[in-house]
Structure 1
Amino acid sequence: MARNKKGIPIHGWLNLDKPLGMTSTQALGRVRRILNAQKLGHAGTLDPLATGILPIALGEATKTIQYAQDRDKVYRFTVKWGEARNTDDCEGTVIATSDKRPTEADIRALLPRFTGNIDQVPPQFSAIKLDGERAYDLARAGEKLDIQPRRVTVYGFKLLNSTPNEAEFELECGKGTYVRSIARDMGQILGCYGHVSALRRLAVGNFTENTSISLDEFEKLVQSAAPDQVLLPVETVLDDIPALAMTAEEVGRIRQGQTLKFLSRQDVDRLSATGIDERTILVLAMGDNKPLALLEKDGIALYPVKVFNL
């Protein structure tokens, strides 16, 4: 006999505002205990020194985590000048110092070099994998890592405040961008060294600061409301994927993993009415106004790649 899974099956997204000093895994554990949730995961690690948006998926929403991870992010962060650290943030060991300090004009002149498509080397202490090992594990063991540059995209980069010893920035960027690398590289170019001393994530896609909730607020709220009244729906991160309402017959076929073919003029018109055309790659199938499945489109065929059990 199969063992019963521990916890309650709860489905949806929590737009969590992670506090300072807590790891993303610890935040996940706290949510699990508050809800007694059966299954959950987060969409993008925040370091303990970072605060801000940590989207947490519960139940069937975990099948959509990759779509949240692919979304653009917005950060507000502070760079302290005069010190390089091995982690590129304030938690690391000081490895170089400088008495030089940049002027505000120097900093502003540098911003265009970090905007658009740029190549950056991830920090030595990062979660990327090298030959199957996490970089931070190798770095902690004392290895000097040869990490190759990666192409990332920065959509917006602005200076908010500047003093002789530090500067505050806001950054809008695509997937895979390391704020710590930007701080390190700016310090090197300015000839004064630099590392991240404070970091807050303001947004991950449509998870924003003004709709987020703290752990303490969340715990109080679930004491007086059902979890589904507190959580965002499973399809929250799928809002850029065209949705198509399915007939009862199509719902049954999708649940059996069968491919749907749209051959008639009526079928084509039905797809076109929801914005589905030859450029469409994914379609969100809806059944009874609930997300049923993600379908991959190949010509006239739609076949299930993720089916939601809601």
Structure 2
Amino acid sequence: MTGFINLYKPIGVTSHDCVAKIRKLLRIKKVGHGGTLDPAATGVLPIGVGKATRLLSYLCHDKAYRATVQFGIATTSDDLEGEIVTQTPVPDVDLATIKAILPKFQGTIQQIPPKYSAIQVGGKRLYELARAGKDVEVPLRTVEVYNIEILNWEPGKYPKLEIAIACGSGTYVRSIARDLGMAANTVATLAGLERTQSSGFHFDSSITLSEMESQIERGVFQLLPPDFPLCHLPLLHLDMEKARRWCNGQRFADTSSQLVAKDVEAITMRTYDEEERFLGISQIIANRDRQQFIIPKVVLG
């Protein structure tokens, strides 16, 4: 049993809880997830099953979210799961102000992750340090925010902004919410978060745990193919003899025209045989003499 599940994680459970549930449903130990979602968040959680767990690190890093930002409230965790530290009505914050400051949060930006996050400082998770009452300096991170689109604006004492965000790996939407408040000369926190896309998986084709359980009971459940989320990687085709050697873990020189330019030191490629059977992941490297080698990195056969 090898492949992926496009799981829709419900609110109130951890990503690890989802993995544990799927292990029981499929009666298999090798299950892992790509891209942790906070318990308070919902949405797409890629799940690898069997040997596909070895492919999780090769998934693309792009993600997309629907987020609700509430102004006038600040919390310890930068979302409504934390303790409220400031709560002041801000009815004067309007949509025009938000539209003016949103461009500052697009492109290559720097942000300070929430104090309650899994980032390590001095060998300790930030949330562990925060729970212990230790005040540490959280390092800046450089992240990519490709686009932010306003979906809805709800004025009032504590205005709410609903936005769609497309971003790269490591982006904290909670930090964007908090910093939007600061840019509007007030405070803000994340009031809701749904991940709509993650590493090539989309919410419109995702399944819930209950739907998955029902499909298993009816005998119709199927895993997504192991190469399903790897379309961002270039293709490498091997003839039958090379495919045999490759599956045996052998590295070998190759000067095929299908490979990358020789001035590229290393590139990762999804690998197939002549019959279009997915074999796994190769890495192409070049030595000092610009001779190229094919190295098996993940062999699924």
Q: 2:69 maps to which residue?
A: 79
1:24-54 CA distance string (max 9 Å, x none): 1111111111111230110011111111100
Quick one: distance in 2 between partners of 1:48 and 1:307?
31
2:278 is equivalent to residue 286 of structure 1: no
Quick one: distance in 1 between partners of 2:296 and 2:224?
23
Amino acid aligned to 1:63: R
CA contact (8 A) 2:9 2:45 kept: yes
Find the partner of 1:169 among 163, 170, 183: 163
Find the partner of 2:108 among 105, 112, 117: 117
CA contact (8 A) 1:80 1:197 kept: yes
TM-score normalized with structure 1 length? 0.88
Quick one: distance in 2 between partners of 1:49 and 1:282?
35
Q: 1:147 maps to which residue?
A: 138
CA-CA distance at 1:305 after TM superposition: 4.6
Q: 1:182 maps to which residue?
A: 176
CA contact (8 A) 1:100 1:191 kept: no
Amino acid aligned to 1:286: Y
Q: 1:4 maps to which residue?
A: none
Aligned partner of residue 82 in structure 2, secondary structure:
coil
TM-score normalized with structure 2 length? 0.91
Aligned partner of residue 91 in structure 1, secondary structure:
coil
Runs of 4+ in 1 over 6 A off after TM superposition: none
CA-CA distance at 1:142 after TM superposition: 0.7
Amino acid aligned to 1:296: Q
2:287 is equivalent to residue 296 of structure 1: no
Amino acid aligned to 1:262: D
Quick one: distance in 2 between partners of 1:307 and 1:193?
47
CA-CA distance at 1:214 after TM superposition: 0.9
List runs of 5+ in structure 1 lacking aligned partners.
1-9
Q: 1:136 maps to which residue?
A: 127
Find the partner of 2:233 among 224, 228, 241: 241
Which has the larger helix fraction?
Answer: 1
Q: 1:47 maps to which residue?
A: 38
Q: 1:3 maps to which residue?
A: none
CA-CA distance at 1:209 after TM superposition: 1.2
Quick one: distance in 2 between partners of 1:38 and 1:247?
34
CA contact (8 A) 1:257 1:303 kept: no
Give identity over the alignment, percent: 36
Quick one: distance in 2 between partners of 1:192 and 1:256?
61
CA-CA distance at 1:226 after TM superposition: 5.6
CA contact (8 A) 1:254 1:293 kept: no
CA contact (8 A) 2:46 2:199 kept: no
Q: How many residues align?
A: 290
Q: 1:20 maps to which residue?
A: 11
Amino acid aligned to 1:127: A
Amino acid aligned to 2:127: Y
CA contact (8 A) 1:243 1:285 kept: yes
CA-CA distance at 1:247 after TM superposition: 2.3
Quick one: distance in 2 between partners of 1:122 and 1:291?
38
Check 1:305–1:110 CA distance in 2 against 1; reply closer, same or farther (3 A cut).
farther
Pick which of 243-252 and 186-195 moved more: 243-252
Aligned partner of residue 281 in structure 1, secondary structure:
strand
CA-CA distance at 1:175 after TM superposition: 0.7
Quick one: distance in 2 between partners of 1:44 and 1:305?
25
